[in-house]
Structure 1
Amino acid sequence: MPRIALSTADSDTLIELLSAHGAPAFRAAQLRHAAWQPFVSGLDDIRQLPSELRSRLSDDLDFSTVTIAAESEADFGRTIKLLCRLADGQTVETVAMETPGRELSRRRSTVCVSTQVGCAVGCPFCATGRMGLRRSCTAAEVVDQVRAAARALYARGLGPVTHVVYMGMGEPLAAYDATVGSMRVLVADGGLSARRITVSTSGVVPAIHRLAVEGMGCTLAVSLHASTDELRDRLVPLNRAHPLESLVGAATGYARATGRRLTFEWCLIGGINDSVEQARGLRDIARRAHAHVNVIPMNHIDDSPWGPPDRRTELAFLTELDGAVVTVRDTRGSDTDAACGQLRAALEQRRSLRPDGTLSPPARRVAPVSSTR
């Protein structure tokens, strides 16, 4: 019998499991409630259950499908990066970001989740894309990243989680069932509003159409990065299958169907997509789509000749976006390799960036020779 993940198990499944262990059905509600308490880290912490039952359940039930292999902090403890180990030994990274309340805004705790181990899209400016793809996560593995982040925030006197963004490792719409399944659990059981969930995609057009009729109402963020097909073919290889016209059409259709404002993300890369011509193209696309633009200066990545533009070029680019609704993202977590585009699992094989913007095959890592002295 396969093991059951507590975070995505429905009441009927839990009642059946409890019955097999001679326990009453009301214990299912206790299990489901405990799963979302940030101070509960395992079955042994659920004191409402008899100790013997807790022991027996551990043979069939996974309190969590992820374990924390490592964690680090940045931004004076307000950014927490978790290296989450999955049951098969693969690792993904999850980031929790606490933003204190200000005079005109409430505090928020945002968790950035991974949906795949690595990524097959292969965007050359993204550290994760240089790993290649190992596999997609399950819905439980995505949900359990949020629960693990909630516990990490709670342990530091922060939280609770208010927002979730699907912007970590992987292409969320290439792991469609896990993405949608996990969102449904976060809304139904985790207490999050779908309006506080954002799914970022590099442009899987058929999945955008599919998501539009799911009835979820989450925010869609499109990783645009170029306003012409010629440049986007280079920066986002998926564009060769789903070029800009079809992508923008699908995204605006999603916005109309859900009533949610569309976001275009733009990783600003010095000497690559920071020209005034690209800015004007972005402005025109954003205006037609009534979209918000999120500009993200590129983070420095090891072994990459690419990086952010100088301040003068950045300001010239932003000036050309006049007339569009624009924000410039704060690149939090860069000192702990947790900022956007830097998420990567430790010790994974990575591909090098060639001068033409393409990626080499994965480099072999040579194990260090142990000393015999």
Structure 2
Amino acid sequence: MATTRVTVLAGGVGGARFTRGLLAHLEREDPDAQVTVVVNTGDDLWLDGLRVCPDLDTVMYTLGGVIGEQGWGRAGETARVSAELHAYGLGWDWFTLGDLDLGTHIARTELLRSGLPLSAVTARLCERWQPGAALIPMSDDPAETHVEVEIDGQVRLIHFEEWWVRYRASVPARRFVQVGVESARPAPGVLEAITRADVVLLPPSNPVVSVGTILGVPGVREAMRSTTAPVIGVSPILGGAPVRGMADACLSAIGVETSAAAVALHYGSRTAGGLLDGWLVDTVDGDALGRLRQAGIAARALPLLMSDDTATAAIVEAALALARGTGPAR
């Protein structure tokens, strides 16, 4: 029997936790399976002379077993270096990098400056943590997400992390601008991971600035539409609210209702030129099943809160079962 090839398009915390559950499930049920995670790099930025890749690091640390208790950064962190930098008036006092985390950023920056592309650097960093999956940035080219906002009567374009962390998305986003995405190329292996997969999964990552940014890289959306693998998504919205984070503020900015059904319809059914073959919603959103099925999206309702490994395993099993039931993409 051929080895199962599973490709995941992921942002940070939600995508990382889902993938950890996926790997645990496959270790029991299909130990020869190969998992590739295409990770959003729209949150990447230069800070204090270092290249910081929040989502790549969150996925790497989570799968490597060293993620911080808050869901990002390293476990057991201290922040002495950031405190020193802030004392010199450098960096952002609202965006603190831990000392252990800084080691990763220093290593990444040195490797980038040696001439390696981000995908090769990521593979090098993963040699230490052995995440159990191939992690690929969506692109080796910079494609940063910025947010147009109005602050003190002035319209400004700020980095997504400033809007997300400093302002906690409290300043309404007028629009999102993926600076450089039009000219970005998919990193080596990205398109192949999608078109040659047996299953493609969209975990409960932000549909606008995580999965949406990956889909903005030229060629990725087309690969998603053309792959013969079933494409199954997991709703990041439960009962009209995000599982975590502020996806509602992002959805509002692009005119999409904050609901499980609306997000699925935003991705669209592949039978109508969209991306999805199947979609999981929480039991609280079970009344959306008929609407989704009518739109050509196979759907199932079950508890989607990833409260522990057992709960996450059940979500993974349901996603893979739904993929088996949808059959080859049409």
Q: TM-score, normalised by structure 2?
A: 0.36
Structure with higher RCO (Cα < 8 A, 6+ apart): 2
Q: TM-score, normalised by structure 1?
A: 0.33
- Larger Cα Rg: Structure 1 or Structure 2? 1
